[in-house]
Amino acid sequence: MNIFRLVADLMHLASIVILLLKITKTRSAAGISFKTQALYAGVFCARYLDLVTHYVSLYNTLMKIFFIGTSFYILYLMKVRFRATWDPNLDTLRVEYLVAPCALLALIFNYAKGFDPIEIFWAFSIYLESVAILPQLFQLTRTGEAETITTHYLFALGAYRGLYIFNWIYRYFTEKGHVEWIPVLAGLVQTGLYCDFFYVYLTRVLKGKKFQLPA
């Protein structure tokens, strides 16, 4: 594992910890998209179907369990414990328009030799992860602003994906041109979706100002 992937994974972990702290400390799920969190739960379940069939390392196994477990715990907090604080009227992006194309792409473009469900679900998870943040970003555009801790969560999540680009570049030069085009292209799409958010975050939030999208 190279340094870029390690730091990226740590940023991913940090994003989840930040989100959990935000919800539990404030006892509120305000500003968080339930649909985005549900999509991420789907991403982790689809990607880690090999959890009981293919052992890589203790680190790998623990990370998979952590991501699946925390994703469903976040859904529980939002839908059960702090349901009154989540406003479904703001979380309105139609996720079926995201899930269906990702499922179609996974059936057509995957690494399966023949019909291998695990490989198809893995490809589906990659495609779905690239757009899973859209309900959250769409909700931000509706409200126009967000709590600072919520923006920290989004920045950590975006940084995780951005660092993976450097991971792929590093692997390309150290592994004799190794390229996995499905995660690379999906990752570029996902990073691109964060561009406007990154700009506002770097120019306002890091200067101590409130996150607010330009009119």
Residue 208 is predicted with a pLDDT of 75
Q: Which stretches within the chain are classed as H helix?
A: 3-26, 34-47, 58-76, 96-108, 117-131, 134-143, 148-174, 181-193, 195-203
SS3 212: strand
190 pLDDT above the threshold of 60 = yes
Residue 56 is predicted with a pLDDT of 85
Cα–Cα separations (whole angstroms), residue 193 to 29, 54, 56, 130: 23, 33, 31, 9
175 pLDDT above the threshold of 60 = yes
Spans of all domains in the chain? 3-212
Closest CA to 4 of 161, 163, 156: 163
What is the mean pLDDT of the segment spanning 136-144? Answer: 87
Residue 20 is predicted with a pLDDT of 96
Closest CA to 120 of 205, 202, 32, 50: 50
**Are the C-beta atoms of residues 78 and 34 closer than 8 Å to each other?**
yes
Residue 60 is predicted with a pLDDT of 86
Q: Could you read off the pLDDT of 24-82 as tens digits, one per residue?
A: 999 999 999 999 999 999 999 999 998 888 888 888 899 899 999 999 999 999 999 99
Q: Whole-angstrom Cα distance, residue 178 to residue 142?
A: 41
121 pLDDT above the threshold of 60 = yes
Quick one: tokens of 1?
Answer: 């594992």
Q: Whole-angstrom Cα distance, residue 36 to residue 159?
A: 17
